[in-house]
A and B are shown apart, each in its own frame.
Chain A
Amino acid sequence: MGEMHQILLKIGPAAFRIASAWRQPLDQLVALYSDYPLLVDQSVDFTVRLEPEKPWRRLLRPSVHIGGDFWLPDAAPLPLTQGLLAAEMGMNLQMALGWRRHLLLHASSVEKDGKALIMTGLSGSGKSTLSAMLAERGWRFMGDEFALLSLDSGQIFPFPRLISLKNEAIGAMQKVVADTRFGPEMKATPKGDIRHLVPPKAAIERMDEPAKPALLLFPRFGHAPELREMGKSEVFVRLTQASTNYVALGEGGFNALTRFVDQVPVKAMDYQSTDQAEEMIHDLWGQLP
C-alpha cells in the first residue's frame, strides 16, 4: 500500500489517529487544528485511514477511500482535493459507529450560563450554520455535528470539531469571521460547496466542559418564522432516529433519552434568517426557569 503518514487529534473526549497515504490532507488538518490540544500519549480511540481507492489511484487522479476502525461498505471515494473533507467524514464515521461513552445525537449545540441549547434536524435544517452564528454572538460553540449526552449525569459534552459550512452559509460566515479561520474552498463535493471553519478559541479551550441541556430545538430553514409545540412521543422517536448509537447502548440509552425528553423543553422553530432565529432563541432562553 505504500507509506502512510499520520497525525493525532483530540476533539472533546475523543482522540483520533488520522493515517493517510498522502501528506496534503494531514497538512491541512494540522494547520486548522493548530489551537487544539496535543495528545500527550499515543493512545487513541479511533484510527481513520485515507487510502487510495485502488493502488494505482494513489498518484493517478488520486482518489481517497475513507476507512478506519469503523467503516461502511459502499462508501463513495472523494478526489484528493477534498481530502480534508474525507478526513472529517472519517472522524464523524468513527464516532457514529463506534462511540459508546455517551448517547450521540445528530445535533449542534451551544452553551450560555452553563446551559446548553441543542438543535437537531435533517440536513439542511440549518443547525450547523445556526451554531456557527451563535458562536460569534456570545454563545460558546460545543459542536455542529454531534451532541454527546452523558448516560450518568444527563449533561451535554462538547465535540467541537471544525464547523462544516455549506453553500450560502459560507458567504454568510465570511462576513463576520476572519479569513484566517477558514479552511480551503471545496467546490462541488457530494454535499455541495464546503468550507470548514475553525471554532472560536474559547470553544477549543473549553472542550472538556459540559453543560446542562436546557432547550431542544427542531429548526427548519426557509419557512415563515413560527414556534410550535411538539409532543414528547414524537420528540422521543425523532431523537432515536437522530441518534447513531441509541440501540447499541441498550438500557443506558433508554434511561438517558427518556430522562432527556422528560426534562428538556422542546420547540419546533421555523425561520427565514439567522437574525429571526436568534431573536426567537433569545426570547425562549429568557423564559427558561
Chain B
Amino acid sequence: MTQKYRAAAQDDLIWHELDSMTLLYHRTSGITHMLADPAPAILEVMEGLSLTAAEIAAQLTARFDIESDIDAENIVIARLEELSGLGLVARVSG
C-alpha cells in the first residue's frame, strides 16, 4: 500500500491526558474524542508528515515497545480508517 495519510494540524488539536484515556478536542469540528492506545501514538508519529501505514508501523516499532507477534501494519490501517472517518486523519492524494 502506498496510500499516504496526514494527521490534522497540531494547531487544530488540544490534547489532555486522563488516567486510562487521552482526550482530544478537535477545534475544526468542535468534537471531543477519547482515544485509547494505539491511536494517540499513531497521531503523534504522524505529526506534520505524510506517511504510509507501513511507515507509521515502522515508526511505532522504533519508538515504542510493541508486542512482536502482531500485524502492526494492518492494525495501523484499521485505526487510520477509523481516524479518517472522524476527520482526524486525511488521505493524501498523489
Binding site for B on A (CB under 8 A): 231-233, 236-237, 240, 246-247, 250-251, 254-255, 258, 261
B19-A254 in contact (CB<8A): no
| Residues 11 to 47 of chain B near chain A (Cβ within 8 Å) | 14, 16, 18-21, 23, 25, 27, 30-32, 34
Closest chain A CB from B47 CB (angstroms): 20
A251-B18 in contact (CB<8A): no
A231-B34 in contact (CB<8A): no
Interface majority SS on A: helix, strand, loop or mixed? helix
* A232 / chain B contacts, CB cutoff of 8 Å: 18-19
Q: If A254-B14, A258-B16 touch, does A240 touch B21 (CB 8 Å cutoff)? A: no
A258-B23 in contact (CB<8A): yes
* A237 / chain B contacts, CB cutoff of 8 Å: 34
B16-A233 in contact (CB<8A): no
A254-B20 in contact (CB<8A): no
Closest chain B CB from A150 CB (angstroms): 19
* B23 / chain A contacts, CB cutoff of 8 Å: 236, 254, 258
* B18 / chain A contacts, CB cutoff of 8 Å: 231-233, 236, 261
B25-A254 in contact (CB<8A): yes
Please tell me which one of the listed residues B14, B32, B34 contacts residue A233 in the complex, with CB atoms under 8 A apart: B34
A-B contact pairs, 5 of them (CB 8 A): A236-B34, A250-B30, A251-B14, A251-B25, A251-B27
Please tell me which one of the listed residues A231, A240, A261 contacts residue B32 in the complex, with CB atoms under 8 A apart: A240
Q: Looking across the interface, which residue of chain A has its beta carbon closest to that of B16?
A: A258
B20-A247 in contact (CB<8A): no
